[in-house]
Amino acid sequence: MTFQQHLLGRVAADDVPCGVDALPDVPGLVRRDGLVDYRASLELQAALREDVVCAARGPSLLALEHPPVYTAGRRASRDEYPYDGTDVVPIERGGRLTWHGPGQLVVYIVGRLRNRTDASGLVRGVEAAVIEVLRELGLGVDSVDGRSGAWLPADRRGPARKVAAIGLAIRRGVTSHGVAVNCTNDLRPFGLIVPCGISDAGVGSFADAGLQDVTPAVLAPRLLDGLERRIGERYETVTSPLGRTRVVLA
């Protein structure tokens, strides 16, 4: 196993075996409702990234759910912000504007790449892992040429709908941010923005496709294992015990 896998808050199922590597201490990380504060998650990724840069830690996967929040990637402009003036958090990942919230699984990928210039290969690997796992759970997603993520095809309801969005940052050869998959979350907040800057497509989810039983807690361990299979070899490791940890409350 390459990655240390961490299930945080509501996605930390009771039957998941605990690993031994502790996460850096970030106050207020996991709220009492089991959601992970967004700004605190940025602090956690920064701390993990510094550990990786210092060769004190290998690569990590963080699986979690956030409270409602809009985030703006490097290519977003202020005229794309929500029409109602809702707060937006600018971040360093690629891409433009998106939304996170309860019912959506977010997985962050923090680690040093073996080939620091192969960003496109990493995105393709993440995309392949997501599509493979979502199909295994019964969702008929595929890739779309020129657009990253996992997509439901166009049908009588309208154009193709994005179920999973990928947005990564790479600095000093170390990745952060990752992928978000719509499971049971409300899709209406996407209506206040142009998600990922794509105006000619829609947004979908497991629940929207009739698969209400696929919650973030159900999807999380499967997606972490899928990412391990597909992109684990792209990351440098350090000598440390590996496994899966649960953080229920910080």
C-alpha–C-alpha distance, residues 68 and 106, integer Å? 12
109 labeled binding residue: no
- Residue for token digits 């499971």? 183
What contacts 70, CB < 8 A, 6 or more positions away?
81, 82, 86, 87, 88, 89, 97, 98, 99, 100, 189, 193
Helices first, then strands: H and E counts in the chain: 3, 12
Q: In what order do the strands lie in the sheet with 69-72?
A: 88-90, 69-72, 97-100
CA distances to 13, 108, 144, 156, 232 from 101, in Å: 19, 15, 25, 28, 27
165 labeled binding residue: yes
Question: Cβ distance 162 to 179 under 8 Å?
Answer: no
Active-site residue flag, 196: yes
93 labeled binding residue: yes
99 labeled binding residue: yes
C-alpha–C-alpha distance, residues 242 and 225, integer Å? 13
Q: Which of 18, 54, 183, 196 is catalytic?
A: 196
2 labeled binding residue: no
232 labeled binding residue: no
9 labeled binding residue: no
231 labeled binding residue: no
180 labeled binding residue: yes
Residues identified as active-site? 196
Binding residues for substrate: 93-100, 165-167, 178-180
Binding residues: 93-100, 165-167, 178-180
